[in-house]
Structures are given as structure tokens and as C-alpha cells.
Amino acid sequence: MATTTTDPIALWQSILQAGGVRAYIDAQLKERGFLVTRRDADAMSDREKDQYKKALKQEAAEKKKLKKEAWAAYKTAHIVHLGDGVFWSDEAKPDKWDTPNSEERAAENELPALDSPKQLAEALSLTIPQLRGMCYHRDAATKLHYVRFTIPKRDGTQRPIWAPLPKLKAAQRWILHNIVERLPVHGSAQGFLAGRSILSNAAVHTNAKTILKMDVTDFFPTVTWRRVRGVFRRAGYREQISTLLALICTEAPREIVQHDGKTYYVSLGARCLPQGAPTSPALTNALCLRLDRRLTALAAKLGWRYSRYADDMTFSLPAGHAGKPHLGKLLGCVKRVVTAEGFEVKAEKTRVHRSGGRQSVTGLVVNGDGSPRTPRKLRRELRAALHNLQHGKPLKDGDTLPRLMGLAAYVYMTDAKRGKELLTALGKFATGGL
């Protein structure tokens, strides 16, 4: 009697070769001797009826077993389901929301061809079940692909960070380097891009008459998985692949709850970009392409300059501007554009800095027509700490040698000569010298 292979992948190939699940099951029932030829029971004797019923029961039991094996094999090659609130169909068919000529657009962006979940799984060095598990959404999960910790914010509150576990982080890094970093980004975006930094961001706004700084409220949490899916669709991927990519790059904000001695991670809302995922910053740059384009055009029309570093939007009016500043009009229009693009301005963090006082952009002073520079107070603190070290005095609370080296590197970024002197002097203490 023939037996089926225990390898689900090989079994699924056998099912495909047989012409589908039903054809495979019928062939196996016949081959194993369980397929019963249907007859009219009225013409049977009682003994024949008993034997006929027994054969039908055996056939039904074997058919149930084969269906179970076929279903297990099907799941090794198909996503099947991705959890509550996520639409999924294993049938690869065009979707009305797919970008027209999507393959051509993906090719223009030099993106890898991903036409099926199998191709994506192979690219990420995963099996289909592993890919499904990585994407699956549960409102109350007992395990996550993230580790949660907090870091202090400048206002004294704690910022939750969800750091992806190694396998998920590797998948996100592949998506970042092979897809997201190849997507078009506006020139006014200065954060998380090669060759751009807080220094290039501040350099846009030197020698300004007036500087307007505005923040976006809950920047990452506002970017839900459906918006991320839209980014991948516009890049040139179809519904299936875009859904999987978006789910890999997002997670729901969660509360950790203990119940009956068990830990649950309870969803507090829709999946969104997590603080801590390597893909999150670059995805916001791609998503904000139209926002940056609109704000750049608005600023230019009113005589202002514009740049964005993550959720920090900065506008500056050049010192030589002779016309009206139109500050009120700029404020109102920016709020309307930001709202239209699916975000919200954080009103309490809107600031206006005029040339009479210190003007800073992403932590660097931009007064005058010189290059951006670190605050004088920071440089004084560094020199004072170095003086204490040189004279054997203790550092003030919170200061450590690695922190001082980091601040010296910060100075070096804007003033190479002064920064190198500080790094050299501090380096002697790092190596135990004098």
C-alpha cells in the first residue's frame, strides 16, 4: 500500500502534479484501496449493507486524514490568513488599487522583482510559515517580534522603543536597503539619508531674519500599516507583496497586561511605524514626498526656505528679504497642508526665533552668515570637564568619558579644528595617558 511523504513541501508538489487537492485525494483513495464504488443499498442483503457501511466509514476516515495532510501541505506554500483586520487572498489577481504599469515603475526604481509571497520569503531567507508568522496580527498576543524599552526625552517623559528581534530586524534591513532606500525622496528631507544630517539641515537656514519651527504630532504612530502599504504600491508592487512588506515594517502600539499569571501584549490601535525599526525613518521620508514638495513650494512662494528633519519642520526668512514676511499666512497654510497630508501640527512646539536672539536648528546655532555651530554653552562645558580631568578632579554628575567623547565628536562635525583638539585631549584619558 502506498504512503504519502511526510515532507509537506514535497507533498504539495505531488498535489499540484495530481491536478489539485480533490484529484490527489481521489487518486490516493483509489491507490490505497479505500475508494468505494457507490451502489444502490436497497438491493443489498443485511450483511452486504454492513460491509458497505463499514467501507464507507473507512473511506471517510482516510479522506479526512488526507484532507488534513493536504491542508498542512497547502499552508507550507500559501499565506492563508494574516489575522484580524487584515484582508488576504492567496489568489494572485489584479487589484483596482494597484498602480498602473506597476512592473515598469518598480523597474524604474531598480527594485527587486517580487511577484509572489514565495519570492519574498526566499529573498528574506524565510519559509512561507515563517513569513506568515512574522506578518500575522493579533490584538492580544502572548509573544512579539520586538523587545520593549524606554529612553528619556528632553521633557523628562519616557519614549517607548520597540526594538525588533534579530530575524525580523534582518528582514527589515533587507527591505530598507533593497527597496525603501531606492524610493524617491524630496531634497528638503534632511534626516536619515546618506550625505544629509542635522548639519545639512541647519545649513539651509543660516543668516535668517526669522525662523519658524514646527513639529508633527505623533509622527511615527500616525503612519499606519495601510499608509505604508500605499508607499509600496506606489513603488510598483502589487496588493499581496505590498501587504506583506507593510506588515513586516509595522507593529501595533501595545500595553503589557498580566492576566492569570500570563503576559499579554494588547493592541491599543492600528499597526504603525515603530520607534526602533530600521525601516521607520526612511519610510517616513518616502511617504512625505508630496508633503515636502507642497511645503517647499509654499515657502518659496512667500519668500521662505524650508527643510524637514524627521518630524521637525523648519522655515526661515533670509536676512536680505525686503518684502512682507507673511508669517501668519505661512503658519495657517502649513497647518492646512500638514492636515491634508494626514498629519497634525503640534501647536505647543511651534516656535518663532528672530535675528535679535539665538537661532538654532536641530541643535545648531545658525545666527549670521557663517556655518552652523554648536552652542557656546556646550563647548564651555566640554572645556570645563576636560580641565577637571587634567587636574584630577571628579566629573559632574551624569558626565562620563564616552559621553564627553561623543560631545567632542559633535563639535568636530561643525568645527574640525576645535573638535580634533578636544578629541585628542580626551583620547589621552581614554587610553590611560596624561
- Tens of pLDDT, residues 333-347: 999 999 999 999 999
Cβ(335)–Cβ(291) below 8 Å: no
Indicate whether 88 pLDDT > 80: yes
What confidence category does residue 5 fall into, taking pLDDT thresholds of 50, 70 and 90? Answer: low
Indicate whether 368 pLDDT > 50: yes
Q: Nearest to residue 189, comparing CAs of 157, 216, 226, 224?
A: 216
Q: What is the mean pLDDT of residues 87-94?
A: 85
Query: DSSP 3-state assignment of 159?
Result: strand
Indicate whether 104 pLDDT > 60: yes
- Tens of pLDDT, residues 309-367: 999 999 999 998 988 999 999 999 999 999 999 999 999 999 999 988 999 999 999 99
Indicate whether 97 pLDDT > 80: no
Q: What pLDDT score was predicted for residue 153?
A: 76
Q: What pLDDT score was predicted for residue 373?
A: 95
Q: What pLDDT score was predicted for residue 352?
A: 96
Residue type, 133: G
Indicate whether 111 pLDDT > 60: yes
Main-chain phi, psi angles of 408, to 5 degrees: -65, -40
What confidence category does residue 50 fall into, taking pLDDT thresholds of 50, 70 and 90? Answer: very high
Cβ(244)–Cβ(179) below 8 Å: no
Q: What is the pTM (predicted TM-score) of this model?
A: 0.88
Q: What pLDDT score was predicted for residue 93?
A: 75
- Average pLDDT of the chain is 92
Indicate whether 96 pLDDT > 80: no
Indicate whether 92 pLDDT > 80: no
Query: DSSP 3-state assignment of 94?
Result: coil
- Tens of pLDDT, residues 122-164: 999 999 999 999 999 999 999 999 998 888 877 777 888 899 9
C-alpha cell at 423: 578629541
Quick count: other Cβ atoms within 10 Å of Cβ 375? Answer: 13
Q: What pLDDT score was predicted for residue 1?
A: 42
Percent of the chain past pLDDT 70, that is, above it, reads 98
Cβ(291)–Cβ(341) below 8 Å: yes
Match 521633557 to its residue by C-alpha cell: 155
- Tens of pLDDT, residues 186-231: 999 999 999 999 999 999 999 999 999 999 999 999 999 999 999 9
What confidence category does residue 102 fall into, taking pLDDT thresholds of 50, 70 and 90? Answer: confident
Query: What's the alpha-carbon Rg for the chain, to the nearest Å?
Result: 31
**DSSP 8-class letter at 161:** E
Q: Kindly list the distances between the CA atom of residue 18 and the CA atoms of 13, 21, 65, 76, in Å, as whole numbers in the listed order.
A: 9, 8, 17, 18
Query: DSSP 3-state assignment of 268?
Result: coil
Q: Nearest to residue 267, comparing CAs of 276, 279, 254?
A: 254
Could you tell me the domains of the chain?
Answer: 8-77 (no CATH), 102-182+224-272 (no CATH), 187-219+280-371 (3.30.70.270), 376-431 (no CATH)
- Tens of pLDDT, residues 236-288: 999 999 999 999 999 999 998 999 999 999 999 999 999 999 999 999 999 99
Q: Kindly list the distances between the CA atom of residue 416 and the CA atoms of 283, 380, 409, 413, 429, in Å, as whole numbers in the listed order.
A: 32, 17, 9, 6, 20
